[in-house]
Structure 1
Amino acid sequence: MSRELFTRREWLAVVAGGVTAGCGGRAAERDSETATATATTRPTATAPPTTTAAASGATDGVEESMSVDADSFEQGPGDCALAADPVPEGTWPMSHRDPAGTNAAPAANGPTGFPLNERWTMSALEAQVTMPVADDKYVYLVAADPEPQPGVPVAAVLCHDPRRNGEIQWRHRVDAMPVGPPVAAAGMVYVPFGPAENARVLAIDRSEGTLRNSYTLPGRFVGELGTAGTSLVMPSEDAYRVVDARSGEFCWSFAPNDVTGTDRQDRKIRAAAVGDGVAYVGTGYPDSQPTTEVGHVYAVDPDISGMRWHVPLDGPVGRVAVADDTVTLTTGNGVVGLDPASGEQRWRASSDTSIRPDTLAVSNGLAVYGTRRQLYGRDVATGEQQWSLGFGVRGDVIFVENTLFAVGRADPTSKRILLAAVDARSGDVRWTQEIYDPLVDVMAANGYLYAITSDGRLFAFTSV
């Protein structure tokens, strides 16, 4: 079933008007609310122990030793656990990734039999939409009017019921533009709204669509919100900031540019992942800034109020994943595997062309990444190439059990955008479907494969 939910006029009415029954079974009609930022106690800096980095050839023998001082790690009053628990079946709480950055979901999350069939389509014409997230029942995304009229709210957080062909269950309107996709954690939908230099994060009750809290984010917001156990990660360019997802209380933050021995202020946070209570934070210039041939990765352990190790790299970090006792990173024209305990480089694979910075998935001992021409599968433990496929990826790649889903082109000269399913063990293509809309990315939850487009469409696919 395919249907266009909104024309532009209807979209404005949806944002400003009423909706159907709520996700928790209650009716919800929310007016624009002015949220007051919750005050958090200024964190008291603690003096963490001095640590030594283990570069071990990460940049052709470059080794760097730096101590962590009180300015780089700030301890707050909150007490939250940093955990990379497996994604619960049927859910997709974070856009593009799970806490460990693996982009891997259990078989229950999506269809595994082929061919697939388009079950339903939600369409908000001319609206800008974020990547969706999902709990075990509903799907949440933010749609914004790119040309708002005076006095008309410009964005809405929407709750969809996939069992009812994507029917909207509630909406919460906001007089601001989103600066990132939502996160589902602790019974809330957390959404960042801009401008990026002065962003705030809204905590919206998932069952009713009501605003529960609002938090200001120090620094320029980049990337995406994250969830990890009871922690909610609110990253800025210069700090990996962690708060309690249950209360919003500040727990701790790490600022790479404040590490003793840093030679210049170019270590902007680009990606991070969690494993065994440690945050692996990758840096480099943001995408819109001048390029640099240097990147860094830091293993930050809140239990010691500091850094276990630091490794310089020969390119800005694009994505980080922690799985199979390996920290896997994409770094410009290469992929690197590091020992999570010491930072020692286990392997490195180079590419003749730039690696898509946001393309990495790791599952069952296999790391998959891509360029504009090829998709690669490598052994996580050794870095040995298992297979390659002539498929130029455009966005992220995700695992659903042993099936890999990707968006891209079989021929880089073609304008045809394909949604493809690939057998992760062999690299063989199992199914493709041409999508004429400007397809952006995919995720799997509730038994569906979801594909989002840049012009406001959300496709839901199931096995035939």
Structure 2
Amino acid sequence: MLSRREVLAAGGAALVSGVAGCGGSSPAPDATFDAPTTAWPTAGYDPQATGRAPDGPTEGTVSWSVSRSSADPPLYGALSPPVVADGTVYVTGVATHYYRPDDFVSPLAAIDAASGSVRWVEGFADGLGGGPAVVDDDSGTVVIGGYDGALHAVGSDGGSEWTADLGGRLGTPTAYGDRLYVESGSGRLHAVGSDGSRLWTADRPGPAERLLGPDEPVETTMPVADDRGVYAAFTPFDRGREAVVVLGYDHGGARRWRTVLDGRYGRSPNGLAVTDDALYATVGGTVYALDPDTGEQRWQFVTGSAAAGPPTVDDERVYVGAKNLYALSRSEGVERWRVVNEAPPSYDRDPTALPYLARPPVADGRVYIRTGAVSAADGTRQWGGDADEWLRSGNYFAEPYYGRPVASPVVTGDAMYLTHAHRGVVKVA
């Protein structure tokens, strides 16, 4: 986490250098997205982070697992949700309060999707700040954000292709055509070409605010993008303020709008998703729907939990995990159904007693949570469950992961891939 001195210093430097891209000089990228059934190329599946794939498995058992200790370097850190492309599963170990960059090497692992064999692991001594995104499925280029402010592109063989030094602590990038968008812990949204060229940087606050520092952020989330532009969310620096700032930019970096959301029951920006008619945001334990053209709030739904995970969307509903999994109507934010997390907290190391905080993938009428799926229509269990023995087993300590998902799944047409806080990387097929 950046200190206040570091944040103010970064703001002062930006005053000298100026803000790139705010004149809209960078052309909009071509961002055709061919929805694959065999891949999950970015954390949100598509650039809009809807989490909606064309198809997913109808049932499943554990096919293979890769433990944290079996790789070299080990898969330590808070494991990112996996991404899948061209028969390869990519996972990073993210630096956190419990896993500091000077204590361990952050891994980026490439795992064969069919067999579970580890193809390669690259270690990053300065730590990684987020999960991977696949930029080019044909070449297998994977991009990750560093704790030290560097954006790294890694080829299909694990070798470095390019590095872009952006500054701040970088999170998970969003791939939009031949462009990458990534937020930094110093309060900036960066646009970078797929070749590592720096296109523009948009500063969230104005010059006076940046110098004085009342709105400097310390927490970010993954940006989302559509043909109108890109959307980002930041927590202000001042921890006394229960708010999150959400902003809309065009693809040239010019700000379109700015909205401040109440952060009741916690205030971290936990995720965004955008559709043609709404931008959905989770802030602490509250879900918001905004007008994507103006930022005007349309509705909000309070889960009552301290945190809610990133939202996913289909034609009718918004899905978000908190203490329970909720399905909300897209138009009004009214609860349609919920899956109650009934796992008994039998002891303080029981992972099934923790909330649903992962992005819940949705595909072909099913919503996937932990190691199974429920009906998207009414929430009835279709297969799998929270309390599978493999999920419960092991010397599991809940505290380092309480604010993070226990199991983060993604789906392809015939399998579910997930990272688990204790078990490592797992395929269910």
* Pairwise same-fold verdict (TM > 0.5): yes
Deviates more, 1:394-403 or 1:258-267: 258-267
Offset from partner CA, 1:108-147 (integer Å, 9 cap, x none): xx31x23x11112222326414432111321122469999
Q: Give deviations 1:19-51, integer Å, cap 9, x for gaps.
A: xxxxxxxxxxxxxxxxxxxxxxx99999xxxxx
Distance 2:426 2:184 in 1: 31
**Identity across matched positions, percent:** 21
Residue of 406, 419, 422 corresponding to 1:452: 419
* 1:190 and 2:148 matched: no
Kindly indicate whether the alpha-carbon contact (under 8 Å) linking 1:156 and 1:174 is maintained by their aligned counterparts in 2: yes
Distance 2:204 2:175 in 1: 21
Q: State the partner residue of 1:383.
A: 333
- Cα displacement string for residues 360-401 of structure 1 (whole angstroms, at most 9, x for unaligned residues): 1111221011322x2211111222221122124143322123
Question: Which residue is 1:123 aligned to?
Answer: 67
**Change in CA separation of 1:385 and 1:341 when aligned onto 2, cut-off 3 Å:** same
Q: Distance in 2 between matches of 1:94 and 1:389?
A: 26
User: For residues 317 and 356 of structure 2, what CA distance do their matches in structure 1 show?
Assistant: 17
Please tell me whether residue 209 in structure 1 is matched to residue 158 in structure 2: yes
Deviations 1:55-108 (A, max 9, x none): xxxxxxxxxxxxxxx74855698756174735433212223553212122120x
* Aligned structure 1 segments of 4 or more residues deviating by more than 6 angstroms: 42-46, 75-78, 144-148, 259-263
1:371 aligned partner: 322
Question: What does residue 325 of structure 1 align with?
Answer: 277
Given that 2:83 and 2:133 are in contact with CA atoms closer than 8 Å, whether structure 1 keeps it comes out as: yes
Equivalence for 1:181: 131
Aligned residue type for 1:406: I
Displacement after TM superposition at 1:224 (Å): 1.4
- Residue in 1 that maps onto 2:206: 258
- Residue 424 (1) aligns with residue 391 (2): no
Q: Which entry has the higher C-alpha Rg, 1 or 2?
A: 1
Distance in 1 separating the partners of 2:317 and 2:234: 24
What is the CA distance between 1:291 and its match in structure 2? 5.5
The one-letter amino acid paired with 1:441 is S
Report the equivalent of 1:402.
365
* Equivalent position SS for 2:356: strand
- Residue by residue over 1:285-344, the C-alpha shift from the partner in whole angstroms, topping out at 9 and shown as x without a partner, is 48xx836322222111134x5122222221243221102411111223422212222223
- 1:335 partnered with 2:279: no
State how 1:271-286 maps to structure 2 within 5 Å.
271=221, 272-285=223-236
Say whether residues 1:294 and 2:243 are aligned partners: yes
CA distance in 2, matches of 1:87, 1:106: 7
Q: Which runs of 5+ in 1 are unaligned?
A: 1-41, 47-69, 408-418
In structure 2, C-alpha distance between the alignment counterparts of 1:314 and 1:93, rounded to whole Å: 32
Q: Hey, what's the Cα distance between the residues in 2 that align with 1:312 and 1:244? A: 29
Distance in 2 separating the partners of 1:122 and 1:349: 38
Residues 75 and 253, structure 1, Cα contact 8 Å, conserved in 2: no
SS in 1 for 2:62: strand
Distance of 2:236 and 2:53 partners within structure 1: 30
The AA in structure 2 aligned to 1:81 is P
In 2, Cα distance between equivalents of 1:421 and 1:216 = 41
In the superposition, the TM-score normalised over structure 2's length comes to 0.75
Q: TM-score, normalised by structure 1?
A: 0.70
Letter of the aligned partner of 1:436 in structure 2? R
Rounded Cα–Cα distance in structure 2 between residues aligned with 1:341 and 1:280: 11
Residue of structure 2 equivalent to 1:219: 168
SS in 1 for 2:257: strand
Partner of 1:396, secondary structure, is coil
For the pair 1:393 / 2:356, whether they are aligned, the reply is yes
C-alpha distance in structure 1 between counterparts of 2:270 and 2:205, whole Å: 18
Summarize the alignment of residues 158-169 of structure 1 with structure 2, pairs less than 5 Å apart.
158-163=109-114, 165-169=115-119
Deviation at 1:244, TM superposition (A): 0.4
Distance 2:30 2:202 in 1: 14
Unaligned runs of 5+ in 2: 1-12, 342-354, 397-405
Conserved 8 A contact 2:164-2:197: no
For the pair 1:249 / 2:197, whether they are aligned, the reply is yes
Give the direction of change, closer, same or farther, for the CA distance of 1:90–1:292 in structure 2 (3 Å limit). farther
The size of the alignment, in residue pairs, is 369
Rounded Cα–Cα distance in structure 2 between residues aligned with 1:130 and 1:338: 27
